[in-house]
A = this chain, B = another copy of it.
């Protein structure tokens, strides 16, 4: 396995904001990755790690430049890992739309041409990256995972499907039912084909309905009520309905006046970090 190569590092809140590049065997291309390393890395104990999955059009830098998460991560001693949202490079298939192809990997393993040669974001996030992070940092065995919008979808799906690897899951304005909204249907059709049974493993509502009574992971969701995509792209609410039906212990908070932007994320990220920290430290 190729290791992470440090390409940039600067101090930030007493820790270091770093950027790495590496060759991804799973994605079959070179990738960049942002990591915040807190000052506590100089101590001998294993640090808690939070993975952050970003939304459509983002790369590995949006979260680390806009969310203001480093302040609390530095206080708690938490490593933040922010991957890119798709494979990258000239040989990687793309689409004219912002919601398919580069910047829009949707955290699935594509099975359809021309996407299937690179778009394996599910395996990249769940398998390859955790191994690279464990190789590079002295960290706790289990991680937590969070994300925004398309990345909220990724965090919920990955967290619900891998309870052995993640201590807790959280999301801002997640796409919870991609099988039933325009963004999701476009991406799942392109990456997985017309057979909707192959979509179900990537639909948080479907997973919760199927598994939520047996496999549970601590979960926190925040949703702005001034979010332009709330109803049209199936954010949060269909998931909340199922959680109520099956008594799934998710904390779901709505906030009037907040939209889909990083101003919303910045306003509530501290609570997410403290939520994950509590669970990460209980292992």
Listed in ascending order, the chain A residues whose CB lies under 8 Å from chain B are 10-14, 16-17, 65-66, 68, 70-71, 224, 226, 255-259, 261-264, 266-267
Contact = CB atoms under 8 A, between A and B. Distances in A.
Contact of A11 (B11, B14, B68, B267): B267
A12 B267 contact: yes
Nearest to A16: B257
A261 B34 CA distance: 15
Given A258-B10, A266-B13, A65 B68 contact: no
A244 B79 CA distance: 41
A67 to B, nearest CB: 8
Main secondary structure of the interface of A (DSSP, over half): mixed
Contacts of A65: 65-66, 262
User: Which 8 A-B residue pairs are closest in the complex by CB-CB distance?
Assistant: A68-B68, A11-B257, A12-B263, A10-B259, A11-B258, A13-B267, A17-B263, A65-B66
A261 B71 CA distance: 16
Nearest to A10: B259
A122 B14 CA distance: 35
Nearest to A260: B10
19 contacts: A10-B259, A10-B264, A11-B226, A11-B255, A11-B256, A11-B263, A11-B264, A11-B267, A12-B264, A12-B266, A12-B267, A13-B266, A13-B267, A16-B257, A66-B66, A68-B68, A68-B266, A70-B267, A71-B266
Which residue of A14, A261, A263, A266 has the most chain B CB atoms within 10 A of its CB atom?
A: A263
A179 to B, nearest CB: 29
Contacts of A66: 65-66
A35 to B, nearest CB: 13
A261 B61 CA distance: 13
A248 B261 CA distance: 43
Contacts of A259: 10-11
Contacts of A266: 12-13, 68, 70-71
A19 to B, nearest CB: 11
Contacts of A17: 263
Contacts of A257: 10-11, 16
A256 B14 CA distance: 10
Contacts of A264: 10-12
Given A65-B66, A66-B65, A66-B66, A10 B261 contact: yes
